Copies of this chain bind each other. A is one copy, B any other.
Amino acid sequence: MRQIAERASVSIGTVSHVVNGTAPVRPKLRERVLEVIRNLGFQPSALAQGLRTNRTRMIGMIIPDITNPFFPGLVRGAEDVAFKHSYRVILCNTDNDPAKESLYFNELRSYRAAGLLIIPAAGSDIASSLKPGTAGIPPVVCIDRRPDGWTGDSVVVANELGAYRATQHLIQSGHRHIAVITGPSLLANSVERLKGFRKALKEANLPLPAEFVQEAVFDTRSGFQAARRLLRMLPRPTAIFACNDLMALGVLHAIHELDLRCPEEISLVGFDDLEFCEYTSPALTSVYQPSYQLGATAANLLLERIKGRKGSPKRLVLDTELKLRNSVLPLEHSSWSVSRMPRTARKSPRKVAAAR
């Protein structure tokens, strides 16, 4: 800026004023300054600005793993609204490691990030990082999972209800022997989904043998392994509820491997409704989570806080929606319309499919 001031023969303060529009500057001078700025390709130092004003336009986003297809949409949602407000996003992958999480947390504090968006790691202890006493902690919004003891803003999805509905769907389709593949028991959302599953079963007075509850870790491989165990049992369940789509994909794989047919011999419902659900075969019935909205909503919440909203924390809960596709076989007809039946059970399945 000094250099610019010299070349345009004005004071350094004036340069600042034309850059920020913080005071009226005579057009002639203004132009001269702008011209020099263009020539020099000057970019004001965000570092110096941040230091001086004590606020930055960076938002830290801490997530488990961008490689998990559930997260990119969420990140994108957050980034889009951040962008709209001229904020930028620093992305941090924790691999669900609380140590890495707290490392990132402190670093982002170091960068004086204006706010933090956190999808807590399994077993996260960030709640304790926010204890009063330490100053200079930016606003934080938790997304997707609410860690133990978290009392701040958060936006999550109605996991229990979603799982409940998915299970109900299976039950209404006539299934009586339904197994579940859960995620890590450390994850709040995993636990909630299991709860919803159990609730639906209980309401229908259906038994749940202990071995029909298999724990996996929300990835395809572990879902595959869990499914293998399930599919070899006698009597075999006629339907499986996988607590996320990645595991459901593993189930599909196991079904094929064991020479079974889906949905004829085994029905399947997933959770997340990732894009690939439309393209698996059979297309996977799944519980849609508004992941983009999750990220966008959280970012909006955070921006409010950054702008100074006080008051009690908001705990937003977004709704899910069961997307019906072809991985569930109705065992009884009951109230089901033909169009919802899987292709192989229809008179002229291919024509119907083509007409969709």
Contacts and interface: CB of A to CB of B under 8 A. Distances in A.
Nearest to A112: B47
A209 interface: no
A80 B93 CA distance: 9
A67 interface: yes
A280 B41 CA distance: 50
Interface in A104-141: 106-107, 109-112, 133-136
Given A90-B90, A90-B91, 15 more contacts: A40-B134, A41-B135, A44-B110, A46-B110, A47-B47, A67-B72, A67-B73, A69-B72, A88-B90, A88-B107, A220-B279, A256-B353, A258-B354, A259-B354, A280-B280
A304 interface: no
Contacts of A279: 220, 249, 252-253, 276, 280
Interface string A129-156: 0000111100000000000000000000
A91 B110 contact: no
11 contacts: A40-B135, A41-B134, A43-B136, A47-B111, A51-B51, A66-B75, A253-B279, A257-B353, A257-B354, A259-B351, A280-B281
Nearest to A79: B93
A318 interface: no
A322 to B, nearest CB: 22
Copies in the complex: 2
Nearest to A77: B67
A44 B109 CA distance: 9
Nearest to A68: B72
A45 B47 CA distance: 10
A79 B91 contact: yes
A199 interface: no
Interface of A: 40-41, 43-48, 50-51, 56, 58, 65-67, 69, 71-73, 75-76, 79-80, 88-93, 106-107, 109-112, 133-136, 220, 249, 252-253, 256-259, 275-276, 278-281, 350-351, 353-354, 356
A55 to B, nearest CB: 10
Among all A-B residue pairs, the 5 with the closest Cβ atoms? A41-B134, A281-B281, A259-B350, A91-B91, A43-B110
A239 to B, nearest CB: 20
A41 B279 CA distance: 50
A48 B50 CA distance: 9
Contacts of A89: 90-91
Nearest to A39: B133
B133 A41 contact: yes
A51 to B, nearest CB: 5
Contacts of A65: 76
A296 to B, nearest CB: 13
Contacts of A75: 66, 91
Contacts of A256: 281, 353
A190 to B, nearest CB: 21
Contacts of A354: 257-259
A136 B45 CA distance: 11
A317 to B, nearest CB: 24
Contacts of A258: 354
Contacts of A106: 43
